[in-house]
Structure 1
């Protein structure tokens, strides 16, 4: 894990999602450590930048992140 900011880790997650989830677990781990360093409890993602921006896609993403210890919410448009 590297010392990246929450914003940088989030951008890497968006890139990973666009690249068919390449290295997604590593990016989630980086996001988790960045959230802890910045004393944040959850990551806020932009639903417009998701590959599957529908309810089932968002719920699947939330469940996957939750299994890895990261709570995800979505910014309202």
Structure 2
């Protein structure tokens, strides 16, 4: 089985967020590995695709991902 790309891992995280955070930590670990393979420092998410697209929800997501070693940025 091939390693997921950053885009694949990001899409799985969106799906996990919409499925009440099912397997979220597994998908974060896959994203972290994909970012390392791609030589990227941060993950970029589209706030329109988030379940809680408000400041509180975005900050909570950033904090949760940061605790797991992934820096999160949002599209403007």
Q: Same fold (TM over 0.5)?
A: yes
SS at match of 2:34: helix
1:75 Cα deviation (Å)? 0.5
Ranges in structure 1 where 5+ consecutive residues have no aligned partner:
none
TM-score normalised to structure 2 length: 0.97
TM-score normalised to structure 1 length: 0.96
What residue number does 1:53 align with?
53
Q: String of CA shifts for 1:12-51, please: whole Å, max 9, x gaps.
A: 0000000000000000000000000000000000000000
Segments ≥4 residues shifted beyond 3 Å: none
What residue number does 1:18 align with?
18
Q: How many residues align?
A: 75
Ranges in structure 2 where 5+ consecutive residues have no aligned partner:
none
